[in-house]
């Protein structure tokens, strides 16, 4: 490598400098700061702040509220993720089926994706109005005879949890369809042709060809959805009173963190400890899934399949 | 046998379209109800559901702004913030992505992998430390606190990198160098103009992300004059408007309709952008 080329390659750092500086100051430092604060009893109200080691964490794990918030978050996330993945796989198979030849696939997908772009806070406020006691949902239910008397939907634990999951599903299923379909169309057709010659059924082809080849994409969706789901805030916050009512059934990790932060004392230390625990839990789950599941059965001497690349986008 | 196959295909197709129409109804109904109800008076709304608009748009708007919620101000704030966020995100993420793709410096692979890891890290959870840091810097209640972190937007860099890898033409860079252009000049004059479609896609996502962002401004911004639309939505839920459903629906519609319009014009960029962000080979 000659000298000009070498020098030129170092100019790469110049291009990266804003990102690296921005990340160190606004990304890494706040994480470390949060970690540091989680070992203290800092509040907004007093200037005094003491190092109290793991007391915040001890209190957190002794607190049923924290355990319940984590449980709520996982539950609501799973109640939305499983049907989301199910419908995405089903629709992708149907859309790509050579036998069915569904028309206007692009338009269907574009419509199903629309909710994803809408403001989650506004959507939750909309559902709050729709499921209010005097709201349209009760009018419809009572007039059509499904319910004999109007129901207080947002005071029922499971209706409310179901609604949060439904809204999340409603916001995300279109995007999942698009990603899964892009993955499916990139699977070489000759694999299916060969399987058909061998007399494989539709289910066998799905099970033996589609699913294994789709795995990197499915893991990508799984991980990004999990990371998003563990930080869920806007929808449960706006759907009811902002404290996870009824009976704290939709109080998620982030809502709990916010409540500690915004309490009359402003317990910054305690709020940080919630952030740190959820941060650790989510990162470990996400990175663990990503690295352990991704390449597991790729040890057959073939080059590693790239998770991210840009073929087949136009289709 | 062949006839049976055809009939079966026909029946299957029927059920598939039925499913699609059902999903269509689920997708559209809430949005349609919102838009329709924003034109109906509270009395009409309480009398029953309608799928046709009414005539109370103007009076709903008067009601909405009469109770201390400054909707035009919130709209302008959101717009300003979204435009600034878009500019910062597009320029700096493409700058970073270009640097990662073109130059072969030590640590390149490490940084590339690290950016993928960053996409999977729940950064929102460091908000308390971020808040504390910003308040020490005197930047709370300042839009800078919402814009500056976008210097390091891992998702956008990742997308830009995909884009440059797909389109980059080494010959063009070499030609630029022979013509005496500086490295930054080549990026500005040659590569950015070529990357416009990718920049538009990144820009749309950045704009929408900022427009919809509630959590961060909710924590950081405190003066009412600086409230963005999602924060006004939160105010709308409060006691003042409790029974004024027409005004509430209109307030929500104002936050949502601009995004639907953007989508109507740019849906191709957006849909292809999602696939590009995740597809493997």
Degrees to nearest 5, angle at CA A192 with A191 and A193 = 90
Contact assessment for residue B53 and residue B40, using Cβ atoms and an 8 Å cutoff: yes
Considering CB atoms only, which of B122, B130, B208 is closest to A282?
A: B122
Domain A60-294 belongs in CATH node 1.20.120.420: no
Give the pLDDT confidence of B141-173 residue by residue, as tens digits.
999 999 999 999 999 999 999 888 887 678 888
Give the other-Cβ count within 10 Å of A64's Cβ. Answer: 8
Answer whether residue B203 shows pLDDT above 60.
yes
Q: How far apart are CA B233 and CA B255, in angstroms?
A: 8
Chain A contact set for B99 (CB, 8 A): 12-16
Answer whether residue B140 shows pLDDT above 70.
yes
CB of B111 within 8 Å of a chain A CB? The answer is: yes
Q: Is A53 exposed, middle or buried (0-12, 13-18, 19+ CB in 10 A)?
A: exposed
The residue ranges of chain A whose pLDDT is under 50 are: 297-315
Which of A176, A160, A26, A198 has the alpha carbon at shortest distance from A89?
A176
- pLDDT for res A146: 87
Closest residue in chain A to residue B277, using alpha carbons only = A308
Q: Flag if A119 and B157 touch (Cβ within 8 Å).
A: no
Which of A50, A82, A60 has the alpha carbon at shortest distance from A281?
A60
Hey, what are B280's tokens?
A: 């493997």
Whole-model pTM: value is 0.90
- pLDDT for res A315: 29
Which of A219, A188, A197 has the alpha carbon at shortest distance from A298?
A219
Q: How far apart are CA B88 and CA A204, in angstroms?
A: 49
- Name A40's bridge partners: A51
Answer whether residue B278 shows pLDDT above 70.
no
- pLDDT for res B163: 87
Contact assessment for residue A125 and residue B248, using Cβ atoms and an 8 Å cutoff: yes
Q: Flag if A19 and B92 touch (Cβ within 8 Å).
A: yes
Only one residue has tokens 């995405």, namely: A88
Measured CA distances, B186 to A161, B172, B225 (Å): 53, 9, 42
Q: How far apart are CA B184 and CA B105, in angstroms?
A: 16
- pLDDT for res A251: 95
Only one residue has tokens 């089903």, namely: A90
Chain A contact set for B12 (CB, 8 A): 99-100
Q: Which fold has domain B68-236?
A: MetI-like fold (1.10.3720)
Chain B contact set for A222 (CB, 8 A): none
Q: How far apart are CA A146 and CA A150, in angstroms?
A: 10
Q: Where are the domains of chain B?
A: 2-58, 68-236
Which of A88, A105, A89, A238 has the alpha carbon at shortest distance from A163?
A238
Contacts 24+ apart (CB under 8 A), B57-60: B57/B250, B59/B246, B60/B246, B60/B247, B60/B249, B60/B250
Measured CA distances, B256 to A120, A199, B34, B152, B225 (Å): 10, 50, 9, 28, 21
Q: Which of B114, B235, B253, B280 should be substituted to probe chain A, the one whose Cβ sees the most A Cβ atoms within 10 Å?
A: B280
- Band the pLDDT of B1: cuts 50, 70, 90: low
- pLDDT for res A33: 94
Give the pLDDT confidence of B15-62 residue by residue, as tens digits.
999 999 999 999 999 999 999 999 998 888 887 788 888 888 888 898
- pLDDT for res A312: 33
Q: Flag if A257 and B252 touch (Cβ within 8 Å).
A: no
Q: Flag if A36 and B129 touch (Cβ within 8 Å).
A: yes
Element (H, E) at B206: helix B196-212
Give the pLDDT confidence of A65-104 residue by residue, as tens digits.
999 999 999 999 999 999 999 999 999 999 988 888 888 8
- pLDDT for res A3: 65
Chain B contact set for A231 (CB, 8 A): 122, 124-125
Q: How far is A251 from chain B (nearest CA, A)?
A: 15
- pLDDT for res A2: 64
Considering CB atoms only, which of A13, A34, A307 is closest to B126?
A: A34
Considering CB atoms only, which of A102, A110, A290 is closest to B271?
A: A110
- pLDDT for res B277: 65
Degrees to nearest 5, angle at CA B204 with B200 and B208 = 170
* Number of residues assigned to chain A: 315
Chain B 124-153, residues with CB within 8 Å of chain A CB atoms = 124-133, 148-152
> How large is the ipTM?
0.91
Q: How far apart are CA B258 and CA B278, in angstroms?
A: 27
- pLDDT for res B6: 86
DSSP secondary structure letter of residue B124 = G
Considering CB atoms only, which of A11, A27, A217 is closest to B183?
A: A11
Considering CB atoms only, which of B26, B125, B219 is closest to A279?
A: B125
- pLDDT for res B127: 94
List of residues 6+ apart from B59 with CB closer than 8 A? B41, B246
Contact assessment for residue A52 and residue A201, using Cβ atoms and an 8 Å cutoff: no
Answer whether residue B240 shows pLDDT above 80.
no
Q: Which of A104, A108, A118, A262 should be substituted to probe chain B, the one whose Cβ sees the most B Cβ atoms within 10 Å?
A: A118
DSSP secondary structure letter of residue B223 = S
Q: How far is B71 from chain A (nearest CA, A)?
A: 14
Q: Flag if A18 and B92 touch (Cβ within 8 Å).
A: yes
Give the other-Cβ count within 10 Å of B31's Cβ. Answer: 18
Considering CB atoms only, which of A27, A130, A286 is closest to B152?
A: A27
- pLDDT for res A306: 45
């Amino acid at each position: 490598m000659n000298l000009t080329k070498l020098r030129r390659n170092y100019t790469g750092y110049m291009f990266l400098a804003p990102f690296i500086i921005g990340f160190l100051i606004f990304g890494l430092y706040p994480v470390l700061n949060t970690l540091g604060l989680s070992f203290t009893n800092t509040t907004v109200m007093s200037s005094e702040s003491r190092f109290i080691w793991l007391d915040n964490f001890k209190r957190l794990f002794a607190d049923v509220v924290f355990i319940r918030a984590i449980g709520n978050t996982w539950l609501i996330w799973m109640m939305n993720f499983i049907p989301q993945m199910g419908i995405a796989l089903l629709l992708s198979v149907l859309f790509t089926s050579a036998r069915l030849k569904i028309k206007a696939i692009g338009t269907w997908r574009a419509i199903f994706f629309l909710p994803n772009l809408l403001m989650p806070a506004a959507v939750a406020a909309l559902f709050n109005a729709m499921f209010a006691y005097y709201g349209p949902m009760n009018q419809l239910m009572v007039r059509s005879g499904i319910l004999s008397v109007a129901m207080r939907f947002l005071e029922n634990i499971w209706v409310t949890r179901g609604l949060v999951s439904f809204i999340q599903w409603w916001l995300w299923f279109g995007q999942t369809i698009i990603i899964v379909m892009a993955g499916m169309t990139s699977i070489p057709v000759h694999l299916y042709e060969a399987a058909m010659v061998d007399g494989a059924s539709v289910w066998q082809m799905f099970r033996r060809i589609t699913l294994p080849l789709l795995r990197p994409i499915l893991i990508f969706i799984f991980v990004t959805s999990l990371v998003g789901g563990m930080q869920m805030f806007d929808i449960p916050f706006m759907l009811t009173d902002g404290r996870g009512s009824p009976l704290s059934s939709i109080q998620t990790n982030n809502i709990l963190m916010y409540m500690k932060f915004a309490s009359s004392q402003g317990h910054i230390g305690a709020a940080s400890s919630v952030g740190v625990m959820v941060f650790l839990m989510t990162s470990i789950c996400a990175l663990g899934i990503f690295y352990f599941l991704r390449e597991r059965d790729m040890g057959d001497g073939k080059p590693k399949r790239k998770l991210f690349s840009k073929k087949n986008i136009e289709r | 046998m062949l006839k049976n196959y055809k009939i079966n295909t026909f029946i299957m197709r029927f059920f598939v379209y039925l499913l699609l129409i059902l999903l269509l109804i689920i997708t559209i109904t809430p949005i349609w109800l919102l838009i329709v109800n924003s034109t109906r008076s509270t009395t009409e709304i309480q009398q029953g559901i309608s799928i046709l608009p009414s005539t109370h748009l103007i009076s709903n708007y008067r009601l909405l702004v009469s109770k201390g919620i400054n909707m035009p101000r919130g709209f302008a704030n959101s717009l300003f913030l979204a435009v600034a966020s878009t500019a910062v995100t597009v320029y700096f993420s493409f700058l970073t992505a270009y640097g990662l793709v073109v130059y072969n410096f030590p640590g390149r692979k490490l940084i590339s992998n690290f950016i993928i890891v960053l996409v999977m890290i729940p950064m929102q959870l460091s908000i308390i430390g971020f808040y504390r840091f910003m308040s020490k810097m005197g930047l709370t209640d300042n839009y800078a606190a919402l814009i500056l972190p976008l210097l390091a937007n891992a998702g956008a860099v990742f997308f830009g990198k995909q884009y440059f890898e797909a389109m980059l033409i080494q010959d063009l860079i070499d030609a630029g160098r022979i013509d005496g252009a500086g490295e930054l000049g080549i990026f500005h004059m040659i590569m950015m103009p070529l990357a416009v479609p990718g920049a538009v896609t990144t820009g749309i996502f950045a704009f929408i992300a900022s427009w919809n962002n509630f959590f961060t401004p909710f924590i950081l911004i405190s003066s009412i004059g600086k409230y963005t639309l999602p924060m006004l939505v939160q105010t709308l839920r409060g006691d003042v408007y409790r029974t004024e459903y027409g005004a509430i629906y209109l307030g929500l519609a104002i936050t949502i309709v601009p995004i639907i319009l953007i989508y109507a014009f740019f849906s191709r960029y957006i849909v292809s952008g999602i696939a590009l962000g995740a597809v493997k080979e």
